[in-house]
């Protein structure tokens, strides 16, 4: 039975990836930061077959211990401080975890592999936020990176370090340049979940308004459950490489609001939505849209859930959750 180690097991993507690997017969280990992690109980409840290890991306010795304990054939680095707005407030912490953490894990994997640099296949979760001030539409693997946030800058560092370890040591190291991917598991601080949760609460009479930032920003949104399959497929190739993973479609925040409120049976959403400059980014990323033709041709991957289906899925999930919480 092959073994896999996933960092960021408590995030959105980690559980979807763990479920996929368990279905394929993997022995799955999840790296978690700290003994008292508040999400540990959730992982133990929802993923009882995942073996939890403790470690920290900023502490290479703990990563070495985790690799020794799990002896993985594949390592998926999903761990990061991933909320873009937070990265301006805590740029150094974001850089240490999201940037330097990649180097720490790559070096730990390299040392663990010993004389065989390809002994452990490595996946790095890169991000469309690396494109930032986009220099090409749509964005491909070769588009110039121009990040517009400390988070984006940190992801660029991790992305290029992954390429460097692949080229310098011959490691099987791949980067998935994932565009925005959402699900009912998304944290409520992210705009899609913020909207779906607020729509559910407004529909149930538990909330009066939704406060938003830029309604005209455009994103390429897909379903996280689809995107983790692309991660796995990258590590099944003969050699490591970089791949854009996206739906190749773009939608505005206004379209997100249209679909979410309409699915809940509310047609006129403007009476419930208020804009606040506090939610505007210091440097906005206006248009992100991917060209995933390489992933489709080489990996045989394509998204299964479209944007309206994704929004409906999230609103339905939040309606059920809010009803339960409110005892309705």
Of the residues 129, 174, 182, 227, only one is catalytic, namely 129
CB atoms within 10 A of CB 279: 13
Is 151 annotated in the active site?
Answer: yes
pLDDT of 259 > 90? The answer is: yes
Range list of β-strands (E), the chain: 3-7, 27-32, 51-54, 74-77, 121-127, 173-178, 181-182, 210-212, 218-219, 222-223, 242-245, 251-252, 273-275
Is 129 annotated in the active site?
Answer: yes
Helices and strands, counts by H and E, the chain? 12, 13
Give pLDDT, residue 287: 77
Give pLDDT, residue 281: 58
Is 61 annotated in the active site?
Answer: no
Give pLDDT, residue 286: 60
Give pLDDT, residue 14: 96
Q: In whole angstroms, what is the distance from residue 246 CA to residue 177 CA?
A: 8
Max CA separation in the chain (angstroms): 64
Give pLDDT, residue 217: 86
pLDDT of 285 > 70? The answer is: no
Q: What is the mean pLDDT of residues 271-300?
A: 83
Local confidence band at 282 (pLDDT 50, 70, 90 cut-offs): low
Give pLDDT, residue 37: 80
Of the residues 62, 70, 126, 127, only one is catalytic, namely 127
Closest to 124 in 3D by CA, of 241, 237, 225, 22: 241
pLDDT of 283 > 60? The answer is: no
Half-sphere exposure of 191 (CA within 13 A, CB side): 24
DSSP 299: I
pLDDT tens-place string over residues 111-154: 999 999 999 999 999 999 999 998 899 999 999 999 999 999 99
Give pLDDT, residue 328: 84
Instruction: Indicate the range of 129-143, 159-173, 309-323 predicted with least confidence.
Output: 129-143
pLDDT tens-place string over residues 181-236: 999 999 998 999 999 999 999 999 999 999 998 898 888 999 999 999 999 999 99
pLDDT tens-place string over residues 286-296: 678 999 999 99
Of the residues 26, 151, 165, 227, only one is catalytic, namely 151
Strand, helix or coil for residue 61: helix
Q: Tell me what percent of the residues of the chain surpass a pLDDT of 70.
A: 97
Give pLDDT, residue 131: 94
Residue in the structure block whose two tokens are 């994103």? 219
Residue in the structure block whose two tokens are 């440097």? 283
Q: Tell me what percent of the residues of the chain surpass a pLDDT of 90.
A: 84
Strand, helix or coil for residue 151: helix
DSSP 17: H
pLDDT tens-place string over residues 49-96: 999 999 999 999 999 999 999 999 999 999 998 777 777 888 999 999
pLDDT of 284 > 60? The answer is: no
Q: What is each CA distance from 49 to 31, 76, 131, in whole angstroms?
A: 14, 17, 37
Q: In whole angstroms, what is the distance from residue 98 CA to residue 102 CA?
A: 7
Alpha carbon 86 to chain centroid, angstroms:
15
């Amino acid at each position: 039975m092959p073994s896999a180690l996933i960092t960021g097991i408590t995030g959105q993507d980690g559980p979807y990836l763990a479920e996929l690997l368990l279905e394929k017969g993997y022995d799955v280990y999840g790296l978690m930061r700290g003994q008292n992690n508040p999400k540990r109980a959730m992982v133990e409840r929802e993923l009882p077959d995942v073996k939890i290890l403790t470690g920290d991306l900023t502490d290479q010795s703990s990563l070495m211990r985790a690799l020794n304990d799990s002896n993985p054939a594949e390592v998926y680095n999903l761990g990061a401080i991933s909320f873009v707005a937070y990265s301006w407030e805590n740029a150094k912490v974001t850089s240490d975890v999201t940037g330097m953490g990649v180097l720490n894990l790559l070096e730990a994997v390299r040392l663990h592999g010993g004389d065989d640099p390809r002994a452990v296949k490595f996946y790095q979760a890169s991000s469309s936020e690396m494109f930032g001030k986009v220099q090409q539409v749509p964005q491909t693997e070769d588009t110039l990176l121009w990040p517009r946030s400390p988070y984006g800058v940190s992801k660029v560092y991790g992305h290029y370090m992954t390429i460097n370890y692949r080229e310098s040591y011959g490691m099987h190291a791949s980067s998935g340049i994932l565009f925005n991917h959402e699900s009912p598991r998304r944290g409520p601080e992210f705009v899609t979940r913020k909207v779906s949760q607020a729509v559910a609460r407004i529909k149930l009479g538990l909330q009066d308004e939704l406060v938003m930032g830029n309604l005209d920003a455009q994103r390429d949104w897909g379903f996280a459950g689809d995107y983790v399959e692309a991660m796995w497929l990258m590590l099944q190739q003969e050699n490591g490489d970089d791949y854009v993973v996206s739906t190749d479609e773009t939608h505005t925040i206004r379209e997100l609001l249209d679909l979410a409120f309409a699915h809940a049976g509310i047609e006129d959403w403007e009476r419930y939505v208020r804009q606040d400059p506090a939610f505007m980014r210091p440097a906005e990323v206006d248009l992100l849209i991917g060209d995933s033709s390489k992933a489709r041709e080489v990996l045989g991957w394509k998204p299964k859930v479209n944007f309206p289906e994704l929004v409906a899925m999230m609103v339905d999930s939040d309606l059920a959750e809010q009803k339960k919480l409110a005892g309705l």
